[in-house]
Amino acid sequence: MTARHAVCLFVILAAWAVPAAAQAPAQLRTPDVIFVPTPQAVVDAMLKLAKVTKNDVVYDLGSGDGRIPIAAAKSYGARGVGIDIDPQRIREATENLKTAGVGDRVKFLNQDLFTTDISEATVVTLYLLPSLNLKLLPKLNRELKPGTRVVSHAFDMGTAKPQETLNVDGRTVYFWTIPIQQ
């Protein structure tokens, strides 16, 4: 290989490698809560309670292995967006999306749920912690359109009275619509 060929090869490899590295999920900071998946029966009940349709954009804040956005797209034809701060979870969700056959309707973003823009959501799903739900409440009311549905697995939002609750296999699911009154 001549020096000229070597330079060309280096330029081609650099052009490929730099954008690939820029897109790779990265650890932003320590997650606020560890990954524990919502059982599939509870996922189905959450989406049913929110009356998800193909016109919805379902945001799962802390999306783990991606099961909620993927189910929203598979079962209802909705668009799904998963936000997770942990790059390992984003990698898993992206792998799961490959086999789910709804890749055109779902995306996963390696971002902090407290700083990501959620304004396009029409449904928001949560499985976090009571303290995180409370911390998130002002952002939900500020960024989401009136009438946006919010569903939380297991955890309420302090004194914000849910409009509905559901028991699924011993687990509680909470439902509110924006604006959520405290």
Ligand X SMILES: C[S@@+](CC[C@H](N)C(=O)[O-])C[C@H]1O[C@@H](n2cnc3c(N)ncnc32)[C@H](O)[C@@H]1O
1-40 residues near ligand X, rule: CB under 6 A: 31-33, 35-38
Which candidate, 138, 140, 142, 169, places its Cα nearest to that of 153? 169
Nearer to ligand X, 17 or 122 (CB): 122
Residue 64 in the binding site for ligand X (CB under 6 A): yes
Q: Name residue 81's beta-bridge partners.
A: 59, 107
Q: Which amino acid is at 137?
A: L
Per CB under 6 A, the list member of 47, 52, 63, 106 interacting with ligand X is 63
Which of the ranges 7-15, 64-72, 143-151, 164-172 carries the binding residues for ligand X, by CB under 6 A? 64-72
What residue type is 162 in one-letter code?
Answer: P
Shortest separation between residue 18's beta carbon and ligand X, angstroms: 26
For ligand X, the binding residues in 109-138 under the rule CB under 6 A are 112-114, 127
133 class by beta-carbon count within 10 Å (0-12 exposed, 13-18 middle, 19+ buried): buried
Measured from the CB atom, the residue of 47 and 178 that comes closer to ligand X is: 47
Write the CA distances from 94 to 77, 90, 117, 129, integer angstroms.
Answer: 18, 6, 20, 24
The answer to whether the beta carbons of residues 156 and 162 sit under 8 Å apart is yes
User: Binding residue for ligand X (CB under 6 A) from 47, 60, 123, 124?
Assistant: 60
How many amino acids of this chain bind ligand X (CB under 6 A)?
Answer: 23
What are the Cα distances from residue 143, in Å, to 18, 86, 140, 161? 34, 23, 6, 20
**Contact (CB, 8 A) for 124 and 144:** yes
Return the residues of window 143-162 that contact ligand X according to CB under 6 A: 153
By CB under 6 A, name the one of 68, 100, 136, 151 that touches ligand X.
68
Q: Which residue is nearest to ligand X (CB)?
A: 62
- Residues near ligand X (CB under 6 A) are 31-33, 35-38, 60, 62-64, 67-68, 83-86, 89, 112-114, 127, 153
